[in-house]
């Protein structure tokens, strides 16, 4: 029994109608632009050059302002409510205390204690002492540079 595919379905978005809020500016009359419009409606470079060399404004200066719609009313209402509730009023906040020194000491005390135990502990020898002292120096300088030189205050 052969498998038959169902007929292919084509999906499209349904057309929607939108309210035109800002109407496009009307085309210029031939007397205003200085050149007659092209009979085919196509833009020609020579027409653009003639319009550019014409003194005065190319576009009309009197344009109708856009009408306010319900979005503007909703936004103005939201702004008025936020202002009435004091949400847009700014007040200086006190400076928060930095946690960098606390975090630095919380890491450095156990780390230096470990390297100090390795360097000077009961199983210490010359090599372990060199490694322990080097670890103390590198970790102190490296973490200090990262915490206080590279990172911002947090």
Q: Average pLDDT, whole number, for the chain?
A: 84
78 in any annotated domain? no
- Per the structure, the complete domain to which residue 120 belongs is given by 100-150
125 in any annotated domain? yes
What is the 3-state composition of the chain as percent helix, strand, coil, each rounded to the nearest 5? 50, 0, 50
105 in any annotated domain? yes
Whether 149 shows a pLDDT value over 70: the answer reads yes
54 in any annotated domain? no
Phi, psi dihedral angles at 61 (to 5 degrees): -85, -20
11 in any annotated domain? no
* Mean pLDDT, residues 54-64 taken together: 73
* Mean pLDDT, residues 42-65 taken together: 78
119 in any annotated domain? yes
On whether the pTM is more than 0.75, the answer is no
82 in any annotated domain? no
88 in any annotated domain? no
Q: What is the dihedral of CA 37, 40, 43, 45, to 10 degrees?
A: -80
Quote the tokens at residue 69.
């719609």
| Strand blocks (E) in 40-96 | none
Scan for tokens 């939108």, then name that residue: 18
């Amino acid at each position: 029994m052969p498998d038959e595919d169902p007929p292919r379905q084509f999906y499209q978005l349904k057309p929607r109608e939108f309210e035109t809020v800002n109407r496009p500016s009307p085309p210029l009359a031939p007397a205003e632009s200085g050149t007659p419009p092209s009979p085919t409606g196509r833009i020609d470079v020579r027409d653009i050059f003639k319009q550019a060399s014409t003194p005065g404004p190319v576009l009309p200066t009197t344009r109708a302002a856009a009408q306010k719609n319900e979005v503007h009313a909703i936004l103005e209402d939201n702004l008025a409510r936020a202002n009435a509730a004091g949400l847009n009023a700014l007040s200086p906040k006190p400076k928060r205390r930095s946690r960098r020194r606390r975090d630095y000491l919380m890491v450095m005390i156990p780390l230096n204690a470990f390297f100090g135990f390795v360097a000077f502990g009961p199983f210490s020898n010359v090599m372990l002492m060199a490694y322990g002292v080097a670890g103390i120096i590198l970790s102190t300088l490296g973490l200090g540079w990262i915490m206080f030189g590279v990172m911002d205050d947090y």
